[in-house]
Amino acid sequence: MKDARMHGSRSEFRRSPRHLLASLGLLMLTLSSLSQAQNVSEILNYREYTPLFSSAGQPTREQLPSIKAAGYDRVIYIAFSNGRTAIPEEDQLVKDLGMDYLHIPVDFNNPTLRDFNAFADAMQREPESRTLLHCQVNARATAFSFLYRVIYQGADMKAAKADMNTVWQPNAVWRDFIFAVLNDHGISPDCEGCDWTPPAPQAQ
């Protein structure tokens, strides 16, 4: 009986390294997933507004998988595909990762109400899809995010503007665009403490 117990103990000892390796592999996989989810915050000017909606600048090719790992269902891109840091095949890469992809090319020097409405319509069609909106540096995207949050999500204008201002203070073109979109929805841009003065033009 004693020999049998000893034999059983030796068998368990022989199995334990395999169990240890399996547990270690599972731990490494879990840590890898957590690391990928955390890496999404390393995307240029990443801002998270709600659990379902964030904006950012241009992700790198290597950062695209981290977007999926962080639980995003959809990527919306609102700059030109020939931008300096753009990924020409981003649409295919995002789709291959299992996310939806929408491209709305917004001219930085001439954003239009139609551009914003196309974005808002997409968001309204699938409001439960976790969405990352991005452009090149998160200037266009923070402006669109500000508008969407104020118009459709009832966000406090001052707080939403403060979030936008962590990335930039809209220039005259974008300030006028923001005012036009708000006006189209019957909303005044005036709020206590909101300074819409465009920054001084940079010297060339």
pLDDT 10s digits, 110-162: 999 999 999 999 999 999 999 999 999 999 999 999 999 999 999 999 999 99
Which residues have CB under 8 Å from 45's CB, separation 6+?
A: 56, 57, 137, 138, 142, 167
Average pLDDT of the residues of the chain: 88
How far apart are the C-alpha atoms of 22 and 160, rounded to whole Å? Answer: 47
Using DSSP's 3-state secondary structure scheme, residue 204 falls into coil
Options 2.60.40.10, 1.10.3470.10, 3.40.50.150, 3.90.190.10; CATH of 36-184:
3.90.190.10
**pLDDT tens, position by position, 16-57:** 555 554 455 445 444 444 454 458 999 999 999 999 999 999
